[in-house]
Amino acid sequence: MCTLTYLPLSEEQYILTTNRDESPDRGLAGFPSYHHVEGKNIVFPQDPKAGGTWVATSDNGISVCLLNGADQPHEFNPPYRMSRGLVVMEAIECIKPDEFFKNYDFTDIEPFTMVVLFHDPELRILEFKWDGKNTFLVEKDSEKPHIWASTQLYTKEAVQNRNEWFEKWLKDNREYTVEAIRDFHRNAGSGDLMNDLVMDRGEVKTVSITSICSLKGVVNMTHHNLLENHKQEISLSQHVNQEFSHHIL
């Protein structure tokens, strides 16, 4: 939930990839699985502690990803009313994400950034931030690549380094593929384990890499558990026949 990239594909399709930086003591998230919620079929890896998630996609064409913190680092001040991962679940259930962000009560929830992709009917990207007091909603250009990084874990310099690594990757990769961007998320950096895309600070480290590839009629989620070096790919039909298929790597 701490470094996220977006790549546009043809016909308003996309690749969304996220590195989750978390304490290994929190417990391993389950592999992505199918859930039927409020009449929608949703795929996400489930957090073992709070039951929510940091990344999810659904058969109604909505994808959501969570990052820790808003624009500035915040003080951890529990108890919080609910987990941010559960807010992800509520956001993906709403067919109008912009209305969700305008009307939801975020009081006593830890600050976060949430990126939501949906078709209305064209592809839209909403970047929502909650800093503990105020909300901020910005629409991003769906025809351009984007990168986000957690302000809670990374200094402005580290965030800028990520931007520069991504810009270099974009220059070297004119055609976007899941394999190529996952390699970026796995290997980009300067050799500094504290701040590379796959980071390790002891108490916090990159525990997984998850990609969502939205194509016409189907969305594929690829999840790599870095701690146990296990990979899984799972597919979800979008607005077709609600049938599921999956393949374990």
* Structural domain boundaries in the chain: 3-247
Query: What CATH number is given for 3-247 in this structure?
Result: 3.60.60.10
Long-range (24+ apart) CB contacts under 8 A made by 204-207 are 204/21, 204/22, 204/23, 204/153, 205/21, 205/22, 205/24, 206/2, 206/19, 206/20, 206/21, 207/20, 207/21, 207/22, 207/24, 207/28, 207/29
Q: State residue 1's pLDDT score.
A: 67
- 117-157 pLDDT per residue, tens: 999 999 999 999 999 999 999 999 999 999 999 999 999 99
At 93, list the tokens. Answer: 């259930």
pTM: 0.93
Task: Please tell me the distance from the alpha carbon of residue 15 to that of residue 220, in angstroms, as a whole number.
Answer: 9
Q: Summarize the confidence of residues 14-35 as an average pLDDT.
A: 90
Q: Is it the case that residue 247 has pLDDT exceeding 60?
A: no
Handedness of CA 90, 95, 101, 103 (dihedral sign): negative
